[in-house]
A and B are shown apart, each in its own frame.
Chain A
Amino acid sequence: MSIIKLINISHWYSENRVLDNLNLEIEKNKITYILGSSGSGKTTILRLIAGLEVPDKGEIYIQNLKASVANKIIVAPGKRQLGYIFQDLALWPHLTVYENIAFGLKNMNKSEVEGEVKGILSLFGLNGSLQKFPHQLSGGQQQMVAIARALALKPKILLMDEPLASLDVKSKRKILDYIVSIKEKYNLTIVYVTHDHLEAFAIADNIVVINEGKIQESGTAVEIKNSTNDFVKYFIEW
């Protein structure tokens, strides 16, 4: 069953068409990898799903609700029940780890917020860093805070824009394992954008390969590996 549907989506940045009549469905409770080289339009897909950009053409459905249509946002980003991990993580540098996570929590009293934040941070082993500022953390810890912040609002969908690119293999592996376990625990649908096909093959349920704004191939890791599409073959050669 698909939780996100992109129908006939086209999108331009000034003169450049970044997405070209794209149709895409994301399955519920699966990890879907969107794979492509830089400039292929993969980040734009995430931003469209999140509602941070308005599509120039087409429609977007989220949980069977019409969320965006051409030039119009129907469901505001904050109402789409999704979390977003930005490429630069976007941790607010002037807020502590605690404040970063507590920031989005609404309709709770102080002790409830505290319980919530501490609960999430202990999941990631970050309880000792509550009062630290982002720049006082290691790269891996910063990723964890970003993920914890996104999960604090209990989203149904987690959008991840290549957040692990700058990490060493070991930390990366550790966080990916976390992601898989979190997905199970929270019944999450994860859309993950990267150019790293090995990472995708390792944990993706579904993979979508995209190039120049068009889907080249989609399927499971095995299907992608056996694809006959020239671009896909070229892309995963490395």
Chain B
Amino acid sequence: MKRTSIIILLFTIMLAISCEQNSNSIVVYTTVDQVFSEPVLKEFEKKTGIKVKAVYDTEETKSTGILNRLIAEKDNPQCDVFWSGDPLRTAVLKNKNILYPYTSKAAKGIDNVFKDKDNFWTGFSARARVLIYNKKLLKDNDVPQSVFDLTDEKYKAKVAIANPLFGTTTFHLAALFSVIGDERAKSFLENLKANDLVIASSNGDVKRRVVKGEVYCGLTDTDDANEAIKEGANIGVVFLDQKGIGSLIMPNTVSLIKKAKISDNAKKLFDYLLSEDTEIALAKSCAQMPLHNGVKLPDGVLSLDNIKPMNIDYNKTAGKLESIQEYLKAWVERK
């Protein structure tokens, strides 16, 4: 009987925990790494008194949890606000009819390039795709300056990219396809493969391999590069193709989830994420570049002003992805 009473006790505790409902609250799902997203959400809580209940995920696991969860929850959405690390996942949700359009006043200062034309998402703080290289292994004049240099014989088996089926790498390749055309892009990828390109499991893995010297260089995101430098790794960062097609800029996006009643709190968080405060916070914590014009930046943080961006239409690029995905899958699986 002792056992039964213990079980009952535990259940009561559980129920008590679950009953601790807060009506003035909001549910946010984010694919942005918890270390960076949590402080922003906590700040919002502090400022508004609205309790934020978050579900985190990570690009390292390809955001499987959240995206699939949002899709599976479609008929009875739990989530109010979706904060994504890149516009691509958001486009998937848009196609699946899960998002709700909203135009925020807070987005006034943000260039329209970074917004969905149907207002299903709005971009803010951006990362860029960069090349990082191990300073010990590559001399200054050997460092590639264009993504197309990577097919060069001298980098054979010494370049890493993350699996392009997932994460920001997908986006990068989709952008490449839409800028230089399918044919050129495919032949470029084939040449990379012929050059024994190393396919890592994630951007984090690319970073690790470069830092440890397994490869000379690799493609990753500015936040990973920033993290490596903070850790004291001896690496250099290059914005590729500054004389050519430019570097890919990837904004965070925020969207409302379609449900019976869109709460005001959801809109408040939406607006807050688009504020300059958030952009400054993210600039400090993970070197994300603000999209508002004229935001005052702390020293040492990158700014969009000094970078030549790749000229793409984010909506079209998301569409591009679907048409090349099968090809990418086959490309990855080929030995």
- The short answer to whether A and B are in direct contact, CB under 8 Å, is no
Chain B contact residues, CB within 8 Å of chain A: none
